[in-house]
Chain A
Amino acid sequence: MKIANLMKTTAFALAAMSVLGFAAPSSAQDTKSITTVVKISGIPWFDRMETGVTKFAEQNPEMDIRQVGPATADSAQQLQIVNDLVATGVDALAVVPMDPDILEGILGRAMDRGTIVVTHEADNQTNTHADIEAFDNNDYGAALNERLAQCMGEKGKWTTFVGSLGSRTHMQWVGAGEENAKKYPGMELVDPNNESFDDANGTYEKAKEILRKHPDIKGFQTSAGNDVLGVGRAIEEAGLAGKVCLVGTGLPNPSTAYLESGAITAIGFWDPQKAGMAMNAVAKLMLEGKEVTDGMDLGVEGYESVTVTPGAGKGLLIVGNGMVLVDKETYKDYLF
């Protein structure tokens, strides 16, 4: 019995050892490392980003480049990962913050320690060397609306959806859309800024109401990722696919069916793959001690001529032209 117990203990310790201790690549001191930290791993958006990070790693075999992210959507878990990475002495961090405010403290300490910090989707981050945004929000909103106007024949009633009235980027997009629509006197905005709360079902109900209230409505411009799905379903069920135009932010894979049926005219987004590459490209430039200047080419599609302005803190705000607008014909290039 005694021996059996001893053996069990030993087995347990060995098992723990083998689970925890199996060989990990130890990075040599001279190779520079860039680690991308995403909000959450295992979701399509960041899986797509990982393909970009992998691509960048292939282009730069002399560097140690990888992507990590928490298993649960919790800013505390992301904070812990960043903490540990800073302790490992990684040379550069490319972070997509879950909550920019929560990471301020550790990113500040990372910068004090000489780590290069690059962020994405966080134009209010103060402790970063550079924040990269895929596009200018006003340009994006205007581009969505321009596509909508084209589809509507530049006239008719149209309305807008936002995730919530408190969502700053969504309000910027529809605001720029309204500005753009002023070019076309035939376009009439009705009941604007419907709140969708990024819930496809709620959006569906609301879109049905709008279709009843305005039977002659011709266009929808939506903002949150699931809005196109809700509105698209309402349009399709009303038998209006192809007759009512719908342009909004969305992802290719979930939208496939509605794009095919014509319920969704076009979707806009930015490609996380390119964003991941751009972040790593900027981190690499900074590791080499080079400056990122206005109009520079990062060598990534959509970031060939970036706008560089001072950011929220001491760092830079780098804005690309990475918006992608796809319709029935072109979405197949971006399946994620």
Chain B
Amino acid sequence: MRFFDGHLTVLIGLIVTLMTAGAIVSDGNYLSLFNLQSMAGQVPEIGLLAIGVLLAMCVGNGGIELSGIALANLSGVVAATIAASFFSASQDPEIFSLIFIVVALATGFLGGLLNGLLIAYLKITAILCTLGTQMLFIGLAVAISDGRSVRVGAPGPLYEIGNGLLFEIPISFLLFIGVACIIGFVLRYTPFGMWLMLNGSNPKAAEYAGFPKNKVIISTYTVSGILSSLAGVIIAARTINVKWDYGTSYLLVAILIAVMAGVKPEGGYGRVICVVLSAITLQMMSSMLNFMGLSNFIRDFAWGALLLGFLAIGRFRLLDLINLQKHAISASVRSPHVQK
């Protein structure tokens, strides 16, 4: 796999373009530390969901993950309800945060496992299965919370995850990059990653080759569920409250990010670094439109245009020839991101 494929090049180009354009339209305010931090703080929740979609798409069988944001909200609601019934967020912030995170991740694990089991053993198509579980998760979250938002409060450590800075970088963003690196590493260098991708490229061959196919599918959706719940933790930490209908628009945006990143909907190919950059691109673009005070309907239009543009790039391999020249350089100067 070449490092600089079409999508990566275009994404990097876009980010540079957006930074320049943003700086011009806002008199440099767009590149102020506060705004860079603000944008970085907004990326993780949607970025994590998009990585979940990447995993589901890569594993093949028409894989897709529609239950991500619902599971994220459910994790937050369950965790907030359980943690608050045992501890007070203001009196024992550390224990509260710990319990909250553990319960949330456990919920995500179970939700993802459910998806995986249904898809692997009952052979339900992923789109139908995750649509069903999405409704199940929403329903559960509504039932547990009575349809109201559940207050998490601002317990020290949890609040730091959502709003704190480390070396001037939002902690949630560092967490996101860390998780992305781990997933990228696993996909690239472990047998599991290879099974996952090969299962997506050719399920039949994978079966005859004796891959533990069901186990791969189940683990993939479970990891995706855990990523969703991690997004739920970050949402809760940022907004101090959790609610079942938060981020309903994320469902499609997460898929948009994955497709923009060049993940193949038919399975077998997808790069985590592209998903990360794609999430950053979308964030930068919507922030810039907000900076310019343009209508939010223009944002939808611009996203649509971008998506079509990227589909065209994927279809016609527009950048292959330029890359041939760059490839020689990138091979000698290997950047640390290369493992993703």
Residues on A lying within 8 angstroms of B by beta carbon are 1-2, 5-6, 8-9, 12-13, 15-17, 19-21, 23-26, 35, 41-42, 66, 68-72, 74-77, 79-81, 83-89, 99, 101-106, 109, 113, 166
Interface residues of B in 275-332 (CB under 8 A from A): 285-297, 299-300, 302, 305-306, 309, 318-322
A26 to B305, CA, bound (A): 26
* Contact of A86 with B247 at beta-carbon distance under 8 Å, contacts A2-B321, A5-B322, A17-B17 already known: no
Contacts of B264 in A (CB 8 A): none
B305 to chain A: closest residue by CB: A19
Which residues of chain B from 230 to 253 have a CB within 8 Å of any chain A CB?
238-241, 243, 245-250
Could you tell me if A42 and B321 are in contact, using CB atoms closer than 8 angstroms?
Answer: no
> Chain A interface secondary structure, helix, strand, loop or mixed?
helix
* Chain B residue nearest in CB terms to A3: B321
User: Closest approach, in angstroms, between the C-beta of A263 and any C-beta of chain B?
Assistant: 32
- Kindly provide the distance from the CB of A14 to the nearest chain B CB, expressed in whole angstroms: 10
Which A residues are CB-close (under 8 A) to B239? 79, 101-106
- Bound: A16/B245 CA distance, A: 33
Any chain A CB within 8 A of the CB of B13? yes
**Contact A41 B17, CB 8 Å, known A87-B39, A88-B26, A105-B240:** no
Selecting from B29-37, B105-113, B200-208, the interface stretch reads B29-37
Q: How far is the CB of A83 from chain B (nearest CB, A)?
A: 6
CA distance A20 to B310 in the complex (A): 16
Are B296 and A101 in contact, with the CB atoms below 8 A?
A: no
B71 CB → nearest A CB, Å:
15
Q: Contacts A23-B25, A99-B243, A105-B240; is A13 near B296 (CB within 8 Å)?
A: no
CB<8 Å pairs between A and B, sample of 22 = A5-B322, A13-B13, A16-B306, A20-B285, A21-B21, A21-B24, A24-B25, A42-B297, A71-B296, A71-B300, A72-B248, A75-B246, A76-B249, A79-B239, A81-B296, A84-B287, A87-B287, A88-B29, A101-B149, A104-B241, A105-B162, A166-B147
> Is the beta-carbon distance between A9 and B319 smaller than 8 angstroms?
yes
A68 vs B292: C-alpha distance in the bound complex, in angstroms? 11
Q: Evaluate contact between B18 and A9: CB separation under 8 angstroms.
A: no
Q: Tell me the B residues contacting A by CB distance below 8 Å.
A: 10, 13-14, 17-18, 21, 24-27, 29, 32, 34-35, 38-39, 41-42, 146-147, 149, 151, 154, 162-163, 238-241, 243, 245-250, 285-297, 299-300, 302, 305-306, 309, 318-322
A274 → chain B, closest Cβ, in Å?
24
Question: What would 20 more interface pairs be, CB under 8 Å, given A85-B290, A99-B243?
Answer: A2-B321, A20-B18, A20-B289, A68-B296, A71-B299, A75-B246, A77-B249, A81-B296, A84-B286, A84-B290, A86-B38, A87-B287, A99-B246, A101-B241, A101-B243, A102-B239, A102-B243, A104-B239, A104-B241, A105-B239
Contact, CB under 8 Å: A80 / B17: no
Q: Which residue of B lies closest to A77 (CB)?
A: B249
Q: How far is the CB of B139 from chain A (nearest CB, A)?
A: 17
In the complex, the answer to whether B240 meets A101 with C-beta atoms within 8 Å is yes
Residues of A within 8 A of B38 (CB): 83-84, 86-87
Closest to B288 in A: A20
CB distance from B283 to the nearest CB of A (A): 9
The reply to whether A76 and B250 contact each other, CB–CB distance below 8 Å, is yes
The answer on a CB contact under 8 Å between B35 and A87 is yes
Q: Are B17 and A20 in contact (CB under 8 A)?
A: yes
Q: How far does the alpha carbon of A24 sit from the alpha carbon of B243 in the complex, in Å?
A: 35
What chain A residues lie within 8 Å of B248 (beta carbons)? 72, 74, 76
For the complex formed, measure the closest distance between the CB of B68 and the CB atoms of chain A, giving whole angstroms: 13
